Structure 1
Amino acid sequence: MFTGIVQGIAAIEDITAEPGLSTFAIRLPSDKAGGVSIGASVAINGTCLTVTRQEDSVLYFDAMQETLRLTTLGDLKTGDQVNFERAARIGDEIGGHLLSGHIHTTARIVEILRPENNVTLWFEVPDEWTRYIFPKGYIAINGASLTIGEVRGNRFNIHLIPETLRATTFGTCEEGQRVNIEIDSQTQTIVDTLARMGYDRPAPTL
């Protein structure tokens, strides 16, 4: 379980591709890699992965082809930077919202606006996921718990303050880039329950 509060930026040291499996070597900041045990869960760009090996600050993770297909991990290259969060522990402050680390879909950044002292990102998601996206609702993007701003059809935006830009990879994102999306589980449950009762949400309008 994760909180959506990104703990920092890590770097892809190496990727080893084998039939049906890719192994990622990811370097965490030295002060964030202590006390990690083999088998621990770490969210990499919001995707829950299991630590298989550790060499100092470098953690190793295996990702199956299905994981690579459903997330943006298959797009990563050596030298790329990623958001990371180690699994939450009982007693930790939940500053964002509870996440499973299971990615539902991906979205594409379609526009970046840079008004003074903040950044607004517009995303486009597959139509079937728009039913769970509401203004002021929660969403996790590349593992970061964020609040949705406006919603227009299959597009929505988020507003980022300087601290979020500093602490995550959003500060260097580009238009056209794909990101991982985890829908808020409570929102999904409510929408699906209402749909089963005949109160389905109407299709989005542009």
Structure 2
Amino acid sequence: MTTDRLSPVFASRPVLTARSLIRTLLAAVVITSLSTACTTQQPEEPPKPLRADVSEAESTMEGVPGGVVIRTARIDATVKSIDYDTRSVTLEDDEGGEVAINVGPEAINFDEIDRGDRVTLVYTEETVVYLRPLEDLPDDGVSAVSARAMEGQKPEGFAAGVIEMTAVVTGVDLESHTAILLFPDGTSREVPVRDDVELNQDQVGQEVVIQKTAAISLSVEGPDGPE
């Protein structure tokens, strides 16, 4: 059993990492957009990375376990250079950050990209955590949807997915104000509980539900805006 101070489920922070969901979403984007099948090149002196504008909003109700956290990251860049033969492209932001990528053949509209095009990537993640009485534990699962631009248009894609995980409260520590959660894979985790949430033995046996919804979109426009 581990103590995870970064994942207080009762404090609305998720205990579920987004790694598997991100892999699912990126796999969809690989089929639908410029970021498809790309691998970062390794220059001798790594350039300054692209800047991402990140925001976070949290919503909780006093005395109620759980809550909602929404995180958004946006990257805006310009196509600095492109090589159609090697299918490589270098993106640069307004602050001089840049990244060079190789784009696989799945990007059917790669030839529509031009030097000077504007690229926008937005990733949004919403995590909802709540407590409910013990019922039959549903299977954890992932669902996803994606869309892409028509052939001959500038690359554009969208992918979204939902993942849900449940855990059971197997114990509470009133002195340290923490709860012990048992996950379907058999692992246990001790998490802190918000100070405004009353903790008692009646919560033992209840479910903690963690629902994570994530969406990623990518668009490419000419320097003068949409065509």
| Pairwise same-fold verdict (TM > 0.5) | no
Greater RCO structure (CA 8 Å; 6+ sep): 2
Shorter-chain TM-score category? under 0.3
Which protein has the bigger strand share? 2
Rg (Cα) greater in structure: 2
TM-score by length of 1: 0.24
Which protein has the bigger helix share? 1
TM-score by length of 2: 0.23
